[in-house]
Amino acid sequence: MMQSFSYTLSELADKVGAELKGDAGEQISGLNTLQDAITGELAFLANPAYARYLESTGASAVILTPVQAEAWTGNALILENPYLGYATLSHLFDGDMGQPEGVHPTAVIAPDAQIHPTAAIGPGVVVESGVQVSENVRIDAGAIIGHDSVIGAGSHICRNVTVCHGVFMGERSIIHANAVIGADGFGNARSDGQWHKIAQIGGVVIGNDVEIGSCTCIDRGALGDTVIHDGVRIDNLVQVAHNVVIGKHTAIAANVGISGSTKVGEYCTIAGAAGLAGHITIADHVHLSGMAMVTKSITRPGAYASGTGIMEAGEWRKNAVRFRKLDDMAKRLKQCERRLDD
């Protein structure tokens, strides 16, 4: 059976420092959206577009801003940022049981690895030589920590993750299942048409409060390190090539690819499946749309996009054929203008 939860509304208010309106003893057993919430659940109004669901919600209480709360007669937790309040409270309703403290007997720990006694290491985990596992680290089943890596305090390595050798990871960071940190970058020298492997002798440095998604790959540097700064969020199936640097608090959605030595600024957002060429620089506060194709540096903050929108396939085909002659069209248009001028 999954865990069940129950808190009084006043316990939750205390947790987030919210002003409580209504029944402080109301029992809350779950979180939900305004639309789907039932009795016993706490909902939140983060997006004003959903305000229309407020009247009909089945929630036993709602997180609201002071202004929203004025017109609301039910139970409420009042906060300036209801979405942040929801984020904070969500952790109280998390059914993930975690890993018991200590080392599971089937884990294989190198004799010279340093494992803090508060660390929780699951079944089948392998911790190689020279690794340092800090306090309150959690390593789930099947994960492997390559030799000479450091896992900072409070970090969490999920199931079947591979951390290769010599990776440094800060505090309170999370690596989701089956991600790979520190595999070789794609480095080859060509000679006579054949590829000669370049050993990737740099490392990976991951900051504090970083989260990296499932099946995401962060390659080690060729020379020097690949660096993921504090507070970065990376979703699933993202490629981060060797010697990339991601500035702090940047968020990168799934399926993005970032080529070698590219530097992404701070506070950027990169939407899903965008692709960044190598050896370019993206300024701070840049926002890339989904599937954006970035082949050169972006030097100014702002929103950027590429591609063409979705169309009915027959219509699309007619337009796509014309794209092949767009340069020709431009020249002919110029010609028309000249003839009209004459």
Between residue 301 and residue 320, which ones bind its own copies under the rule CB under 8 A? 302-320
Is residue 176 at the binding interface for its own copies, with CB under 8 A as the rule? yes
Question: Judged by CB under 8 A, does residue 193 bind its own copies?
Answer: yes
Other Cβ atoms closer than 10 A to 292: 21
The verdict on 67 binding its own copies (CB under 8 A) reads: no
The one segment of 8-16, 18-26, 113-121, 171-179 that binds its own copies by CB under 8 A: 171-179
**Is 253 among the residues that bind its own copies (CB under 8 A)?**
yes
The one catalytic residue in 91, 116, 242, 285 is 242
Please tell me the count of residues contacting its own copies according to CB under 8 A.
141
Question: Residue 17 interacts with its own copies (CB under 8 A)?
Answer: no
Using CA atoms, how far apart are residues 83 and 174, in angstroms rounded to an integer?
Answer: 21
**152 Cα distance to chain centroid:** 19
Name, in order, each residue with C-beta under 8 angstroms of 51's C-beta and a sequence gap of 6 or more: 45, 68
Structure tokens at 25: 């003893």
* CA distances from residue 18 to 12, 15, 54, 76, 96 in whole angstroms, order as listed: 8, 8, 19, 9, 26
- By the rule CB under 8 A, 15 interacts with its own copies: no
The neighbouring-strand residues paired with 145 are 127, 163
Note whether 10 binds its own copies by CB under 8 A.
Answer: no
Q: What one-character DSSP code corresponds to residue 91?
A: G
In the list 50, 251, 281, 283, the residue contacting its own copies (rule: CB under 8 A) is 251
Written as one letter, the residue type at 258 is I
- According to DSSP, the β-strands at 269-270 and 194-197 are unpaired
CA 74 from centroid of its chain's CA atoms: 35
Binding segment for its own copies (CB under 8 A), chosen from 20-28, 52-60, 68-76, 121-129, is: 121-129
Residue 71 or 316 with smaller CB distance to its own copies: 316
CB neighbourhood size of 6 (10 A) = 10
Interaction pattern, residues 19-48, with its own copies; x per rule: CB under 8 A: -----------xxxx--x------------
Considering the rule CB under 8 A, would residue 101 count as an interface residue with its own copies?
A: no
Is 229 a residue of the active site? no
Task: Report the nearest approach of its own copies to the CB of residue 306 (Å).
Answer: 5
Nearer to its own copies, 119 or 145 (CB): 145
Q: Confirm or reject binding of residue 88 to its own copies (CB under 8 A).
A: yes
Q: Which of helix, strand or coil describes residue 210?
A: coil
Phi, psi of 127, deg, nearest 5:
-120, 115
For its own copies, the binding residue among 68, 93, 118, 136 (CB under 8 A) is: 93
Q: Is 166 in the site for its own copies (CB under 8 A)?
A: yes
The residues annotated with a catalytic role in the active site are 242
